[in-house]
Amino acid sequence: MQPITLFQLNTLVKETLEQGLPGRYWVQGEISEGRPGYNGHFYGEMVQKDEQSGAIMAKARITCWANTFRQLAQKFQEATGETLRAGLTVMVEVTVSFHQQYGYSLTITNIDPSYTLGDMARRRQEILRQLEKDGILHDNQTLTLPLLTQRIAVISSATAAGYGDFCNQVQNNELGFWFHLQLFPAVMQGSRVPETIIAALEQIAAESDQWDAVVIIRGGGATSDLSDFDSYPLAACIAQMPLPVITGIGHERDETVLDYVAHTHLKTPTAVAAFLIDHLATTAAHIDELSQRITRSVTERLARELQRLVRLASVLPLAFQTVRQRQEHRIETLLSRMQTAHRERQLREQHRLQLMEQRLQSLDPALLLQRGYSMTLADGKLLRDASQVRAGQTLVTRLAKGTLISVVTQQTEIQWNNN
């Protein structure tokens, strides 16, 4: 067999492809690489991945010539808000070509933006369904925004277009409300969006007692970066934050997954600033209303108490006189009872003394002597028993009239007959 050169073989392949695939084909795939060149042409790579494993099943080099690219890029952005970039799933119309030096490639001649929109929506819905399945989709929305929401943790890029405007609007508000803002820097476009925002959220959650709410703002920039915020890990982190999360990603038309899980979502950073100021103004108005109600209530209460005191002052002298009369009558009654009791006690005591006196008088020895009795004393002691004396002892006998002195000569026991 006559050998051929590689160029000849590639030329054969080129002619075969052009003859076998002469028309245009709509192809679905993901742009894995893509960038406009200095000459305006778009160069990139398209791949197809396995839905289960994510492994690349097919790959092809893609090209879109400058004139066509300008038209398709404008058409695509107007429809989707995105620029043709790596990471997007697209449906493009292509022609198949083969170059002897550069090999197999696809030349883009048209694009269907609705397919990309559908894919973005599908991915977003898949994330939302998973969040709902996990039971955390609305968790952050159940939190209560504090009445005095003044300590704000801000997640943004320090160089973001809307960050400076947000800070200026909040801190220099016309109502003079005080806010404390602290920036937790994060990347707000590109593939590092989810991981850097999650890192900032975790830092805030670790010191959640120092903050009233979290604000995530992007402000300005191209809307083509919205898909960077459609991340399940990021959405799950926001849904489970212990603080209310307010988003202002800076897009007027579309919403990201973050907007569905956040406590409150607004379109722009300035809208977030206005919301915070209005929220505090509503609280201040409520406090003013309560203050006025308290003032009115206290004033009315004081007026009622003053009227009551006036009424009391008018009836107090009469009441005092009535009480005084009652007390005087009570005292008079008590004095009367005491005097009666004293007289009765005095009479009882007098009667008792008279009885005692009569009893004492009945015991007077002189009365006994008058009745014929006598008293005999031995050595000055009253003699009751004959055995108490001895022969020769001198006795003194007292009679009603006079005294006898005798000497004991004999003792005789006498038996008295009680019958």
3-class state of residue 26 by DSSP: strand
Q: Does residue 378 surpass a pLDDT of 90?
A: no
For the chain, the distance separating the N- and C-terminal CA atoms, rounded to the nearest angstrom, is: 188
Mean pLDDT over each residue of the chain, to the nearest integer: 86
Give the model's pLDDT for residue 14.
84
Distance (Å) of CA 256 to CA 173, 227, 316: 29, 7, 77
Best CA proximity match to 128, nearest among 236, 20, 1: 236
Residue recorded with tokens 């620029």 = 83
Q: Does residue 109 surpass a pLDDT of 70?
A: yes
The CA distance from 28 to 47, in Å, is: 9
**Domains of the chain, with CATH numbers?**
6-111 (2.40.50.140), 126-282 (3.40.50.280), 367-406 (no CATH)
3-class state of residue 146 by DSSP: coil
Q: Which residue has the higher pLDDT, 111 or 359?
A: 111
Best CA proximity match to 266, nearest among 212, 222, 205, 215: 215
Residues 6+ apart with CB under 8 A from 216: 155, 156, 197, 238, 245, 246, 247, 248, 249, 258, 262
Q: Does residue 303 surpass a pLDDT of 90?
A: no
CA trace torsion 250, 270, 145, 188 (10° rounding): 30
Chain segment 39-70, per-residue pLDDT in tens? 999 999 999 988 777 788 999 999 999 999 99
The CA distance from 232 to 238, in Å, is: 10
Least confident of 76-90, 145-159, 213-227: 213-227
pLDDT band for position 220 (cuts 50, 70, 90) = low
Give the model's pLDDT for residue 254.
60
3-class state of residue 311 by DSSP: helix
The CA distance from 55 to 227, in Å, is: 22
Please give the DSSP secondary-structure letter assigned to residue 240: T
Residue recorded with tokens 């903050």 = 211
Distance (Å) of CA 164 to CA 157, 216, 269, 400: 10, 13, 10, 140
Among 224-228, 239-243, 407-411, the range with the most confident prediction by mean pLDDT is 239-243
pLDDT band for position 273 (cuts 50, 70, 90) = very high
C-alpha 347 chain-centroid distance: 83
Tell me the whole-structure pTM to 2 decimals: 0.57
Q: Does residue 170 surpass a pLDDT of 70?
A: yes
Angle between helices 232-239 and 193-206 (to 10 degrees): 20
Q: Which residue has the higher pLDDT, 245 or 313?
A: 245
Sort 262 into a burial class: Cβ within 10 Å, 0-12 / 13-18 / 19+.
buried
Give the model's pLDDT for residue 26.
93
Q: Does residue 293 surpass a pLDDT of 80?
A: yes
